[in-house]
Amino acid sequence: MLFSSIMSKKVSWKFSVKTILLSCSFFLFVAAGAQVTTSPYSRYGLGDFQFTGFVQGIGMGGGGIGMRNDSLLVQYINMNNPASLTSNNIVAYEVGLQSNTSLLRNDTASAVLNRSTLSHIGLAFPIAKWWSGAIGLVPYSSVGYNVSNSEVRDTIGNITYKYEGSGGISQVFTSHAFRPFSGLPAYYKNTSRYDQLVTSRDTVKLKKAIALRNGLSNISVGATVSYLFGPLNNVRRDIFPDSSYSLNTRITRTTTIRDVYASYGAQYRFRLPIVNPKYKTLKKDTTGLLCDKSIGDNYFCFRKTPGGVCSDTSKLFIKSPQGAQVSFGAVFALPVSVRATTDLYAQTYKLNAGFETFIDTVYNQSDASGNIVLPAMFGFGFAVKKDFRWQFQADYAQQMWENFTFLGETTDLKNSERMTAGVQWQPKVNYRRNYFANVQYRFGARYYKTYLELKGTQLREYGITAGFGFPVRELGRINLGLEAGRRGTTESNLIEENYFRVMFTVSVNDRWFQRLRYD
């Protein structure tokens, strides 16, 4: 009774801490909002798409369409492909903080800006052996800029144009993944066809039949349904500093999005075969102790005992030691029209001691309904990993922004492309002599051809990433993700953005909804 009481208190304490961590992070995210960018390029389209997945993918270049979590410690959440959730056989929870520092410069000036906020929260959990789910709250896009430029006109004098933006779109998501053929191998072994092949000792057909069903059982499909919400605030000012008669103008547009968006994914995994050493030793035997079925110089199916009974040795091949796991993945999203409302105000004002004194409202439109057509997206990737020790991933994705329309208006956006590659390595597992041997080390790189084409130049983005997963006893891992990159150029009087991002996350694994039994 005393032991049970102590264990109950210990489990309750752990559960309470994790529950408080989950609840607090949710409310902090809602309070912080989606604005995590300080980029002048967030002025265009729907803003800046900075979120590149949860912590493991961020350290490996921001990708993970082909990655799976099984056999990795700790298990993480991979939202690059919803089909990957079937590899989570325990509960995984993650909350992250992000800080983004940018150096903006052109041919004449430069500035350093910083923005820090809660970046994401997510919870993945198994529902059945063939079904897993996840819920979470992540940013979809972010807006945050403050830029200006001036020109001189003969009849008016100096004119200064100022552009400011804030806000962003968040998404509450739920994802579900399924293995539609997960029970097929076990079902096949209870059929009469399987018994016939065993009785006839036809090992070749038996191996092919089991391999086919094992392959089908390794297929996973999934879908993510998100509710998009949030405002995009854009303000433009036309200021006439040299004229005491001209009124300055301020145009404020707030676009609020509230609608559902869906994406889909699939994965297939398999193990690289390694021939069982015991299988290699089954040589031809002229004494008759072995059955007469063989392939080449190696016996492939049955071995005769001294008593004259043949025993099945096909399992030495079918259940051979496993090599590295290879997985392929694909994702796509169909074009979708989401609802939006717009508030548009145009006002005139004068500056008095630096304060805006409004004179008149020129235009006022509230709650004007419209639609934003989000374009189709597709991507594919692969990953190779050896248990908990190492993993490599690479993927490619494209989105058709040329078909994007904003409140019925076409835009000049271009199709975007993204390529990533990265690796994770962990020297040891549960190695007590050296703490850093249990640390996960991640490195990666990414290339992004953005959807912006300004002054005849389609902007490109390059980044390198690194990450570390530090084990914490009784909790999980504390993760550090780093990214340094560059976007844009100073040519054609454009702005070059050099950024450095730091992400700090806590990843927790636990077993929920399971009844403990004591013998």
- The DSSP-derived string for 207-230 is HHHHHHHHHHHTEEEEEEEEEEEE
CATH for 15: 2.40.160
Q: What is the pLDDT of residue 57?
A: 82
Tell me, yes or no, whether 494 lies in a domain: yes
Structure confidence at residue 22 (pLDDT): 52
Q: CA torsion angle for 183, 188, 189, 193 (degrees, to 10)?
A: 180
Measured CA to CA in angstroms, residue 218 lies from 33, 71, 79, 80, 323 at distances of: 39, 15, 19, 19, 16
Tokens of 171: 């998404």
Domain-located, residue 157: yes
Q: State residue 389's pLDDT score.
A: 86
- For the record, the structure tokens of 434 come out as 């050296």
DSSP string, 136-174: EEEEEEE--EEEEEEEEETTTEEEEEEEEEEEEEEEEEE
CA-based radius of gyration for the chain: 29
Whether residue 432 lies inside any domain: the answer is yes
What's the token pair of residue 353? 């001691």
Whether the CB-CB separation of 250 and 349 falls below 8 Å is answered with: yes
* Cβ partners under 8 Å of residue 492, min gap 6: 454, 455, 456, 457
DSSP H stretches of helix in 397-459: none
For 480-503, the DSSP string reads: EEEEEEEEE-SGGG--EEEEEEEE
Residue 45 DSSP label:
T
**Local mean pLDDT, 10-residue blocks, the chain (519 residues):** 40 47 50 64 86 77 88 80 91 88 86 85 90 92 87 81 91 94 89 84 81 91 95 92 82 94 95 61 44 41 47 47 85 94 91 82 88 94 89 95 87 92 89 86 94 89 94 84 91 89 87 57
How many domains does the chain divide into?
A: 1
Question: Does residue 85 contact residue 134 with C-beta atoms inside 8 Å?
Answer: yes
Closest by Cα among 107, 92, 105, 185 to 479: 92
Is residue 428 domain-resident?
yes
Please state whether beta strands 405-406 and 355-374 pair in parallel, antiparallel, or not at all (unpaired). Answer: antiparallel
pLDDT at residue 359, rounded to an integer = 85
Helices 203-217 and 192-200 meet at what angle, rounded to 10?
140
What pLDDT is recorded for position 154? 74
Note whether residue 379 is domain-resident: no
Q: Is residue 486 part of a domain?
A: yes
Q: Which residue segment(s) compose the domain that 83 sits in?
A: 2-179+223-273+388-398+412-510
- Nearest-angstrom CA–CA distance, 117 and 138: 12
In a domain, 200, yes or no: no
The answer to whether residue 361 sits within a structural domain is no
Task: Answer whether 39's CB lies under 8 Å from 174's CB.
Answer: no
Q: Which residue has the tokens 């092949």?
A: 197
Alpha carbons 315 and 207: distance in angstroms, whole number:
9
